[in-house]
Amino acid sequence: MIDRPASHLPRGGSTVGPAPGHPAVRTRILLLLVFVLLGGFALRLVYVQGIDPTGQAAAAMDQRLTHQETLPQRGSILDRDGDVLAASVRRYDIVVDQRLVKDFNEWDREARETVLVDVDSRLASLAEVLGMSEEEVREATIGSRPYAVVRRSVTPEVRDKAMALNVPGLLSEAVDRRTYPNGSVAGSIIGFMGGDGTALEGLELSQDDVMTGTPGTRTFEVGADGIRIPNAPLEEVPAVDGADLRLTVDKDAQWFAQETLGALAAEYEAEWANAVVMDVKTGDVIVMADSTTVDPADPDATEGNFRTSTVMSTPYEPGSTGKALPIAAAVDAGKVTATDGFT
């Protein structure tokens, strides 16, 4: 008779699993919960990104998008030889959303880690870049206003240094500043702009649509700190610059005429004097000068009635100067000759 080892299986050949408190059971339950959670996240992602009947994804994207208008360059005004009489110089206003100015996290390339940046230290650097006191910068940036001007009309170089500081909520807005390198020469023809960039007189006003151009747009994503998200998609529609105006006026002849008329008006105590010089072959106006001419860079320094050309705005009795037109027409038609006499 052979002894056989006792079987460890219960009757019927069935097996019994580990008890509920066994580590293997707990592991399986945890794995199951993890899979359920991941499945829930996946379904939610599909719902929001794929189906999204309520537009949640689009709404979230709209909250992150910032739209900026890019200014076109205003056209220049040139004399007949191409010398600049009026031109625009690109400058930037530094502005801020005060609600976003706070300490922030920034990637430190040397330490290769994210560090917390004290915004006060950046504001001190900003003051140095903008040529302002720390107190002035803090007054402009700390508060609850969604829009505040920190510094107006800074150069592109200063703007780049300011924006490189990555102060949350700090933005730059492009603006054009009109310059008139020849002062009051042809000022009554050129006209002038207001402090807000609105054309007010002369060619600046009458040809405003031609010189203004068409604005462009920039659309990009920003984080909660108001700083653009690196490598995020950028949509840009370039601005179309305005056209230049080339006049028939000669700036040197215009200057000489203005100086001469000013001296004559002073000598004879006249209220004003003006002169027009034309090229008889082409009809080009070479000079249209006044004894008192506005400086487009400082129009307030000139009396209101002399901020436009008296040639165009002031009526007067032409007298014998009006005879030239009918006589020229009669000669052109062959009705009279240069030697005919009249009584």
Across 234-238, average pLDDT: 84
Across 93-104, average pLDDT: 90
* Per-residue confidence (pLDDT) for residue 323, from 0 to 100: 84
Q: pLDDT > 90: what percent of the chain?
A: 55
Least confident residue range of 8-12, 128-132, 325-329, 335-339: 8-12
Residue 107 banded pLDDT, cuts 50, 70, 90:
confident
Q: What is the pLDDT of residues 251-299, one digit of tens each?
A: 999 999 999 999 999 999 999 999 999 998 999 999 999 999 999 999 9
Nearest residue to 173 via CA among 194, 193, 152: 152
The C-alpha angle with vertex 109 and arms to 107 and 113, in degrees rounded to 5, equals: 50
Which position has the token pair 């400082």? 298
Residue span(s) of the chain under CATH 3.90.1310.10 come to 67-244
pTM over 0.75: no
Using alpha carbons, list the distances in angstroms from residue 38 to 34, 44, 312.
6, 10, 79
Q: Hey, what CATH class is 67-244 in? A: alpha beta
Q: Is the pLDDT of residue 56 over 80?
A: no
Identity of the amino acid at 180: Y
Q: What is the pLDDT of residues 303-324, one digit of tens each?
A: 988 899 999 888 877 778 788 8
* Per-residue confidence (pLDDT) for residue 1, from 0 to 100: 46
Across 1-18, average pLDDT: 52
DSSP-assigned beta bridge partners for residue 158: none
* Per-residue confidence (pLDDT) for residue 34, from 0 to 100: 83
Residue 104 banded pLDDT, cuts 50, 70, 90:
confident
User: Do residues 72 and 242 lie in contact, with contact meaning Cβ atoms separated by under 8 Å?
Assistant: yes
Mapping DSSP onto H, E and C, the string for the chain reads: CCCCCCCCCCHHHCCCCCCCCCHHHHHHHHHHHHHHHHHHHHHHHHHHHHHCCCCHHHHHHHHHEEEEEECCCCCCEECCCCCEEEEEEEEEEEEECHHHCCCEEEEECCCCEEEEECHHHHHHHHHHHHCCCHHHHHHHHCCCCCCEEEEEEECHHHHHHHHCCCCCCEEEEEEEEEECCCCCCCHHHHCCECCCCCECCHHHHHCHHHHHCECEEEEEEECCCCCECCCCCCEEECCECCCCEECCCCHHHHHHHHHHHHHHHHHCCCCCCEEEEECCCCCCEEEEEECCCCCCCCHHHCCHHHCCCHHHHCCCCCHHHHHHHHHHHHHHCCCCCCCCCCC
Mean pLDDT computed over every residue of the chain: 85
Q: What is the pLDDT of residues 191-224, one digit of tens each?
A: 999 988 899 999 999 999 999 999 998 887 777 6
Which position has the token pair 């529609």? 237
Q: pLDDT > 70: what percent of the chain?
A: 84
